[in-house]
């Protein structure tokens, strides 16, 4: 349990601590009008990989993919 410290400000405004840390850590890195330069935006997007491949729905698969998909309760091939 945090005593004093960050607990009370977090209850009042949950993002306030992160905002204060961002303002203190990188004051020149904020763009108030949300118009981020393209080179910085490209760098950010390239640095954030997808955590995992997004699976497709079963109805989006082709017939061959559907037949190759292992059925529940079927023996292993």
Instruction: State the Cα–Cα distance between residues 49 and 47, nearest whole angstrom.
Output: 6
pLDDT of residue 74: 66
pLDDT of residue 2: 47
Return the closest-CA partner of residue 36 out of 49, 45, 47: 45
Q: Whats the size of the chain, residue-wise?
A: 77
How does pLDDT run across 17-42, given as a tens digit for each residue?
777 777 776 656 666 667 777 887 77
Residues above pLDDT 90, as percent of the chain:
0
Return the closest-CA partner of residue 58 out of 68, 43, 50: 68
The reported pTM is 0.25
């Amino acid at each position: 349990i945090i005593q004093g410290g960050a607990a009370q400000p977090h209850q009042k405004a949950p993002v306030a601590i992160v905002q204060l840390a961002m303002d203190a850590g990188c004051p020149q890195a904020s763009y108030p009008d949300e118009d981020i330069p393209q080179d910085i935006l490209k760098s950010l997007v390239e640095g954030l990989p997808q955590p995992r491949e997004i699976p497709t729905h079963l109805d989006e698969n082709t017939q061959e993919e559907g037949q190759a998909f292992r059925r529940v309760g079927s023996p292993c091939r």
